[in-house]
Chain A
Amino acid sequence: MIGRILVIARNTLLEAVRQKVLNVLLLFGLVMIAASSYFSQVAIDQQIKFVKDFGCGAIGLIGVCIAILSVAQLLPQELHNRTIYTILAKPVRRSEFLLGKFVGVVLLLTLSVALMSIAFAAVLWWQETQGLAAVQADYVHTPGWGKSPELTNMYQHDVAQIVNQVRDPQMVEAILLIFAKLVMAAAMAMLVSTFSTSFIFTVITTCGIYLIGHMESAARDVWLSHGAQATFGQGLFLEMLSLLVPDMNSFTIVDEILDGNVVPWWHTWNLLGYSAVYTGVLLALSELIFEFREI
């Protein structure tokens, strides 16, 4: 079973890698990350913050585009090319087919995120070199440089601040959380594509759910705290939102990491667990729907 899933996954990955749209998107991501270092009108510590924000933003934005677009075209393309009939005529279960496709997309996302993260790390390293050179140039021209131990102490403090900001080990947490969010978006797209009949419908619906997901926590708060005051229709709407749409806003904890605040690993694991279980549920639902879809 695992062998069949892996074969389908490998094939899905190869097909996706050959697609121009996804490659162009990835290129856009790399350009966005590289361009983030051109904020010369702000101070060096702000430049590092901006690079981190734009780098992670680009990984998130391009990643979600790749996730949704690659999943949305999976089933329609298979149906259009009629390859699905050939595959399902073989001893391959529908669940294996769907899971194989999903694993392929996850591999594609892993590859994309890894490539963008390497570019991001390179830009950060360059920014650190620039920052350290700027700090040194500032201190060298200060009267008393080289003689005053107090000045040396302050210089070391400034250097440590830049180095700590750039080589923040918490960036690993940030990238992992972004990746988990992308996998969830891909699973949502997979669920929609199992009952959708067109590529556009899947893309638009998934984007809608993704955006609403960022407001789910607000809807939940209103439903739980003011639910009694709402009309039946409003209450039902808020309840449906709270119970069905994933909470994407929790993942904005990445912003805290980028601001230099400490996010403990146990909280990150909790979020990763939430994402994994939610993805599992979405895949189970996708499989149930796909099983009775007429092909």
Chain B
Amino acid sequence: MTAVRFPWPRVALIALVVCLWAPIKLAWEIGLERQQDELRYHGVVVTRQLRDQLSQGLTIGVLAGFRNIVADFVWLDVTVAWEKYEWFKMDALINLVTSLEPRSILFWDNGGWQLAWNVSIFVKDDVVHQPNELRRLHDARFWIYRGLDVYQRGIENNPTSYKLWESMGQLYQNRLGDYYRAAWCYGRASQLPGAPVYLERFPAIMMGNQFAHDDWKAYELWKELWFRLTPAQRLEKAHWQEKIISNIRQLENTLKVPREKRVFPN
């Protein structure tokens, strides 16, 4: 009978591979994490608070790397909550979805829209649950600001998204009647990558609006837009040069701008 020799050299070799690989692995992973942080991919840390809000199955889903699918399922619950008129549950679910996917513009945009438009308008007209009109208006205002808060947090997480600035501009314009802020939001939106060309004109349109009625500011903004366009852009139909020119001319006449100071003296 021969004694079985323990393969020490082989075990030593395995230990050596592990010992050599471990620090390289650590450094590589730290580098990857740093790159992802610089690219603003924060990922999701499963905190106790998040864990408490998710069911066990959904938590396992998040931990197994299926965060997007979990967020999609939670989003479907937002629709269910809307159908059951559970506004605060909707608000909580929107917070949860946006915590799970802080880089999804779709959830921030639709979440803000659900609260600031759908819920707010429903609450304003809901005489069955709230006969007092003042109370209804107060509640409607509350939900507009909840939606606004969603947009603002969305912008904090996605500073390069034009869509959220545009939606916030629409909210200020149509729900809050604040044309100065709407103009500012549209202005910010138009400077971001991927923004549609029509947004460039919105700040000036806001200021010339019958409610804001700040013609001087509108004139400045139209002029600024005209001078910002390159000669090639001025020839493109997409930039609406005719509209810009006609607005500038009209305002120059209305404001009685001296001929020598006009953009288009003739």
Footprint of B on A, CB under 8 Å? 39, 41-43, 45-46, 49-50, 53-54, 56-57, 60-61, 149-150, 153-154, 157, 210-211, 214-218, 220, 224, 242-244, 246-253, 255-256, 258-261, 263-264, 267, 270-271, 274, 277-278, 281, 284-285, 288-289, 291-292
Contact = CB atoms under 8 A, between A and B. Distances in A.
B63 A215 contact: yes
A42 B76 contact: yes
Tell me the dominant secondary structure on chain B's binding face: helix
Contacts of A41: 76, 79
Contacts of B22: 243-244
Interface string B156-191: 000000000000000000000000000000000000
* Top 9 closest pairs, chain A to chain B, by CB: A243-B22, A53-B68, A259-B104, A57-B69, A292-B7, A247-B29, A288-B14, A157-B196, A255-B68
A267 B29 contact: no
Contacts of A263: 39, 41
Contacts of A54: 69, 72
Interface residues of B, number: 47
B66 A270 contact: no
A149 B237 contact: yes
B232 interface: no
B10 A274 contact: no
Nearest to B36: A253
A271 B41 CA distance: 14
A51 to B, nearest CB: 10
Contacts of A271: 32
The residue in B22, B45, B66, B71 that gathers the most chain A C-beta atoms within 10 A of its C-beta is B66
B101 interface: yes
B75 interface: yes
Nearest to B28: A274
B239 to A, nearest CB: 11
Contacts, number: 124
Contacts of A157: 196
Contacts of B29: 216-217, 220, 247, 250, 274
14 contacts: A41-B76, A54-B72, A153-B196, A153-B197, A214-B65, A243-B26, A249-B43, A251-B65, A252-B43, A255-B67, A256-B103, A259-B104, A264-B39, A274-B32
Contacts of B72: 49-50, 53-54
A285 B17 contact: yes
Contacts of A153: 196-198, 238
B104 A249 contact: no
B135 interface: no
A267 B40 CA distance: 13
Contacts of B99: none
